[in-house]
Amino acid sequence: MAQAQPPQGILPGQLAPPGQTDPLANLRDIHIPGAIDPWPPAIGWWLIAAAALIAISYGIYLVFKWWKSNQYRREGIRALKYLLDNHVSEKQYLGDYSDLLKRIALSAYARESVANLTGEAWVSFLDRSTGTQEFSMGEGQILIQGNYELNPSVDVDKLHLLGLYWIKKHRKLATMNHQTAPSAHALSGGFAS
């Protein structure tokens, strides 16, 4: 097969002189593709949007579930503040305080493991559920016998701080770490504000 030769007198790469046909004249110009239409998006974008929507919905569900599961704590803190602001005597405060902690414990734990606890078993439970010894060895000792005394000596402010600490920090007994017990200083400094 013979190669096509350029017309006489024209070197390769030169244009043909006028009157001769230009072999490049029939070529079309380069066409740039049009802009990509943003709508509808490709299937990948739909999948990303669906995954994001599911993730956001699940996150909102988890936050709501956490918020709802801690509602008893918020109500307990309000009730404890009400007790502090409206108690008439130390004996009345002590009785109401103990009842409030018991009601909160019944909201968080199985009834059969909490309802019958009194005295040392009760304060031991309170200590175990927060990993402290402040109820059995500290300010909370008054809960053991204080309700049976005629005029118990109660430091209402310290007991209030201890109650706040317990309401905020108690956790399920199955997941407790008994080795981490905050000091009395940490208890009094943590809720002063």
- Residue 85 three-state SS: helix
Residue 43 lies in a domain: no
31 — phi, psi (to 5°)? -105, 125
Residue 88 lies in a domain: yes
Pair 170, 129: CB distance under 8 Å: yes
Q: What is the per-residue DSSP string for 118-175?
A: -HHHHHHHHHHHHT--TTTTSGGGHHHHGGGSSS----HHHHHHHHHHHHHH---GGG
The whole-number pLDDT of residue 65 equals: 96
Across the range 97-114, mean pLDDT stands at 92
* Tokens 């009094």 sit on residue: 188
Closest by CA position to 132, among listed 184, 186, 181: 181
Residue 27 lies in a domain: no
Residue 124 lies in a domain: yes
- Residue 178 three-state SS: coil
Share of the chain above pLDDT 90, in %: 47
What is the chain's length? Answer: 193
As a whole number of angstroms, the distance between CA 55 and CA 61 comes to: 10
Pair 125, 72: CB distance under 8 Å: no
Provide the pLDDT confidence category of residue 84 given band limits of 50, 70 and 90.
very high
Residue 50 lies in a domain: no
Q: Is residue 190 pLDDT above 50, yes or no?
A: no
CA distances from 121 to 101, 143, 171, 187 (A): 14, 11, 17, 22
Domains in the chain, number: 1
Round the average pLDDT of the chain to a whole number and report it: 82
Closest by CA position to 134, among listed 83, 96, 182, 82: 182
The whole-number pLDDT of residue 102 equals: 94
Q: Using CA atoms in the order 146, 151, 152, 157, what is the torsion angle rounded to 10 degrees?
A: 130
Residue 117 lies in a domain: yes
Residue 58 lies in a domain: no
Domain containing residue 90: 71-190
Residue 118 lies in a domain: yes
- Per residue in 1-59, pLDDT tens? 556 555 555 555 555 555 667 777 777 888 888 888 888 888 999 999 999 999 999 99
